[in-house]
């Protein structure tokens, strides 16, 4: 059976961890991760939680693509940006 001291230590550690996560979460929505779409088509931006913030298309690149290819490129860029955001979360939160 665990001692009262061990339980208190675990509780203190959990409270420290909770404070760390709350501090990180307070800035997560304003921390942005950018990913180029590729082929000079533009870029996508997500926040550190992986929420899509913007899709910025470069008009000069649109002349050299079609809707289907553009859609695939944007989806791939969003997924890559989400992966970057996930890696940053894991790094920040351990």
Q: Please write down the HEC assignment for all residues of the chain.
A: CCCHHHHHHHHHHHHHHHHHHHHHHHHHCCCEEEEECCCCCEEEEEECCCCEEEEEECHHHHCCCCHHHHHHHHHHHHHHHHHHHHHHHHHHHC
Give the integer Cα–Cα distance in Å for 50 and 82: 5
Whole-number CA gyration radius for the chain: 20
pLDDT tens for each residue of 38-48: 989 999 999 99
Please tell me whether the overall predicted TM-score, pTM, comes out greater than 0.75 for this model: yes
Position 23 scores a pLDDT of 85
- Segments of the chain scoring below 70 in pLDDT: none
């Amino acid at each position: 059976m665990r001692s009262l001291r061990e339980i208190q230590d675990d509780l203190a550690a959990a409270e420290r961890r909770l404070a760390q996560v709350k501090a990180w979460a307070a800035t997560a929505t304003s921390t942005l991760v950018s990913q180029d779409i590729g082929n000079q088509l533009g870029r996508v931006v997500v926040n550190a939680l992986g929420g899509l913030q913007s899709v910025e298309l470069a008009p000069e690149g649109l002349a050299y693509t079609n809707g289907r290819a553009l859609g695939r490129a944007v989806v791939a860029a969003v997924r890559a940006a989400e992966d970057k955001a996930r890696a940053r979360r894991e790094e920040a939160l351990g």
